[in-house]
Amino acid sequence: EVQLVQSGAEVKKPGESLRISCKGSGYNFANYWIAWARQMPGKGLEWMGITHSSGSDLRYSPSFEGQVTISADKSISTAYLHWSSLKASDTAMYYCARRIIAVGATSGGGFDSWGQGTLVTVSS
Amino acid sequence: QTVVTQEPSFSVSPGGTVTLTCGLRSGSVSTSYYPSWYQQTPGQAPRTLVYNTATRSSGVPDRFSGSILGNKAALIITGAQADDECDYYCSLYMGGGIWVFGGGTKVTVL
């Protein structure tokens, strides 16, 4: 069974750094990409960016470029989302999701499995 | 402004059929955008219903189907049930390794 398990809820102060994680199991992590999405309280999903399992190929939404850093360590089947200096406006639920592409395709696709979410609260 | 458009809300009667759409502020959606659909109940993580336009995710009942209708992607729900009442999001692949989610549609079953 494919599973993405995210790290637990975090409460941080503005200006602090934070890294949350997403560990994949039940499939060959090395063959897939992992995306991150934000959901602010009462709002919709926002696509943030995506990393190949190797961590060597990354894409960011223009809205999030420079605001967060996405990485991955395929040796431990884990993807990460990192902030160097949190703001109150980063308060949200964050989800990771596995990219699925059509057989024979090399681009596109959607997301077929999701983590349970990590709630990040930033407050002074 | 939202690049990917969805109806903000939709009502359907129990047992009825509802068609949710996913469009572009400018242009037409085709299979090249790999439209995918996700269901989210309050307090839960999203659940994938359909990806790559029409491929149902594992365990998703065939009451849910995806297609292209006109210039938009569509999620058709037949035989609506009470637990279909939740939020539905689409995603489109915009090229260059970038995806965008739609703003979501809140479906009410009454």
HEC profile of chain A: CCEEEECCCEEECCCCCEEEEEEEECCCHHHCEEEEEEECCCCCEEEEEEEECCCCCEEECCCCECCEEEEEEHHHCEEEEEECCCCHHHCEEEEEEEEECCCCCCCCCEEEEECCCEEEEECC
B45 to A117: CB separation less than 8 angstroms, yes or no: yes
Element containing residue B5 per DSSP (H, E):
strand B4-6
Contacts of A100 in chain B (CB under 8 A): 51-52
Instruction: Report the candidate in A107, A46, A64 with the shortest Cα–Cα distance to residue B4.
Output: A46
A interface with B, Cβ–Cβ < 8 A, is 35, 37, 44-47, 50, 57, 59, 61, 95, 97, 100-102, 107-117
pLDDT at A94: 98
Q: Please, which pLDDT band fits residue A121 given cuts at 50, 70 and 90?
A: very high
Over residues B58-87, mean pLDDT: 97
Question: How many Cα neighbours within 13 Å face the side chain of B22?
Answer: 30
Contacts of B34 in chain A (CB under 8 A): 102, 108-110
> How do residues B1-46 score in pLDDT, each as one tens digit?
669 999 999 999 999 999 999 999 999 999 999 999 999 999 999 9
pLDDT at B1: 61
Which backbone phi and psi does B21 adopt, to 5 degrees?
Answer: -120, 160
Contact call for residues A22 and A4 (beta carbons, < 8 A): yes
Contact call for residues B89 and B104 (beta carbons, < 8 A): yes
> How do residues A9-19 score in pLDDT, each as one tens digit?
999 999 999 99
pLDDT at A105: 79
Count A/B contacts: CB-CB distance under 8 Å. 77
A45 to B46: CB separation less than 8 angstroms, yes or no: yes
Say how many C-beta atoms besides its own lie within 10 A of residue A36's C-beta: 26
**Cα(B65)–Cα(A58) distance, rounded to whole angstroms?**
31
Q: Please, which pLDDT band fits residue A95 given cuts at 50, 70 and 90?
A: very high
Handedness of CA B91, A30, A48, A46 (dihedral sign): positive
Question: Which residues is B19 bridged to in the sheet?
Answer: B76
Interface test with A, best of B57, B101, B105 (most A CBs within 10 A): B101
> How do residues A34-75 score in pLDDT, each as one tens digit?
999 999 999 999 999 999 998 899 999 999 999 999 999 999
> How do residues A29-45 score in pLDDT, each as one tens digit?
999 999 999 999 999 99
Interstrand relation of B9-12 and B64-69 (parallel, antiparallel or unpaired): unpaired
pLDDT at A101: 86
Lowest mean pLDDT among A99-103, B27-31, B61-65: A99-103
